[in-house]
Amino acid sequence: MFEENLEAPENPNMHLNYYQKEDQVLLAVDCIIFGFDKENLKILLIKRNFEPEKGKWSLIGGFLKRDENLDEAAVRVLETLTGLNDIYLEQIHTYSKIDRDPGQRTISVAYYALIDVDSHRFDGIQIDAAHWFDIKEAPELIFDHNEMVRKAKARLKRRALTKPIGFELLPEKFTMRQLQNLYESILDKKLDKRNFINKINSLDVLIKLDEKDMSVSRKGAYLYVFDKDKYEKKVEEDGFIFKI
């Protein structure tokens, strides 16, 4: 089926070529990039400027290269297209329907990423065709990308309930209201304010600052920061689970 270049210098073990009769495939990564602007959950999409499906909305993606693993490929794709690195990424699922991409047989590994929209005001984003959509108002996507987003939302919901990943979506300093807005967006339901604050406080991993955010109310709202060291120490020492 394929002729392989057994001398390819990138793979020092190529001489141990035990599997040479097997079919090879193109492996892509696609990133579901979630953002939060202190009000609503967003998703970053691009308008494809190449075939197939040129002009339609799609996830950001790219192909795995010979010299990197999938996590690295996801980081590279994200950095290339948004200029951002040091972003929370997690693999979700691998999609392999035979005709999922009409261009060529392609298997795609989906990742989701979490970004604070405001702190990372990448100037206009590298690609002008990229746009933040409110998660509730995102357009139809190409291929099986809608299914990827559906699964990513479910995963985010599950993770957010048991791991402190929500803080990846917030600025370093945030108000309780913003934290609650975030959880309401992720869980897609209203939460009781007092119960939410009591729950968060009982976890005992936030530091309340003396500083207030005066931008939204007369009274002002105290700012908090996530105490990552304290959280990690608690996990380490007594198997603490961050549970909303």
Partner DNA sequence: TTTATAAGTGTTGTATTTACATTTTTAAAA
Partner DNA sequence: TTTTAAAAATGTAAATACAACACTTATAAA
**Which residues of the chain form contacts with DNA (CB under 7 A)?**
175-177, 192-195, 197-199, 212, 214, 216-222, 243
State both tokens at 89.
Answer: 């990424």
CB of 165 to DNA, least distance (A): 19
The DSSP secondary-structure symbol of 14 reads T
Quote the least distance from Cβ 44 to a second copy, whole Å. Answer: 22
Q: What is the DSSP letter of 133?
A: E
Per residue in 187-211, is it b (16+ CB within 10 Å) or e — as a string?
A: eeeeeeeeebeeebeeeebbeeeee
**One-letter identity of residue 52:** P
Which CB atom, from 1 or from 229, has the smaller least distance to a second copy?
1
Stretch that binds a second copy, among 89-97, 136-144, 192-200, 204-212 (CB under 8 A): 89-97
Q: Which is nearer to a second copy, 96 or 126 (CB)?
A: 96
Block residue for tokens 């729950």: 199
Minimum distance, C-beta of residue 169 to DNA, in the bound complex (Å): 18
- What's the min distance (Å) between Cβ of 41 and DNA? 18
| Separation CA 234–CA 85 (nearest Å) | 28
Cα 195 from Cα 45, distance rounded (Å): 35
Judged by the rule CB under 8 A, the positions of this chain that interact with a second copy are 1-5, 8, 10-11, 13-14, 16-20, 22-27, 50-52, 63-71, 91, 93-94, 96-99, 102-107, 109
